Amino acid sequence: MSFSDLPKDRAKLKYIAFFHVAMGTKEGPAHVFMALDVERDYLINLGVEPEVTDDVVMKHIYLLTEHPEFEPHCKDGFTLVMEDHSKLAQKIQSIIGPCKGTVLFDKALNNSLSNPVLIHLMGSLKNLKKE
């Protein structure tokens, strides 16, 4: 599924897919937190953490709302699409609410939005290993 395959009523919404990717390093696992602005096809790197905890997730959602590339969404509203962490719904809403944001916990939609990024990222990493 690509972005253009989204139903027309959904395409009018401004989706931000929030996700992280686990990568192995010499020091142990690293989790790269990212947010994909689907409308603009723009990826925001939010940071890297050694683990994924509720506090870490909340930190990166807050960092998203403070990111300069995110500012247009604070004016027009958006839907933050997440795979999980539904137990944090109230806390997440308290962070994104002032920016006219709502949170949607939909694993299938999050995966369909983030998969093109992940495929590209994994391809890039494979190419680096070949060099």
pLDDT of residue 45: 93
Residue matched to tokens 């992940």? 118
**Residue 2, helix vs strand vs coil:** coil
The structural domain count of the chain equals 1
pLDDT of residue 38: 85
Which residue range(s) make up the domain with 111? 3-130
Q: Give the chain's residues under pLDDT 70.
A: 1-13, 123-131
pLDDT of residue 11: 38
* 112 token code pair: 């369909």
CA pair distance 88, 9, nearest whole angstrom: 27
Has this prediction a pTM greater than 0.85? no
Residue 120's Cα: distance from chain center in Å?
15
Q: Which helix (H) or strand (E) holds 87?
A: none
pLDDT of residue 125: 61
- Confirm if 72 and 47 have CB atoms less than 8 A apart: no
pLDDT of residue 1: 41
pLDDT of residue 16: 93
pLDDT of residue 123: 67
pLDDT of residue 74: 78
- Confirm if 41 and 60 have CB atoms less than 8 A apart: no
Instruction: List C-alpha distances in Å: 124 to 49, 50, 78, 101.
Output: 21, 22, 30, 32
Residue matched to tokens 């603009």? 40
CATH number at residue 108: 3.30.420.10
pLDDT of residue 130: 60
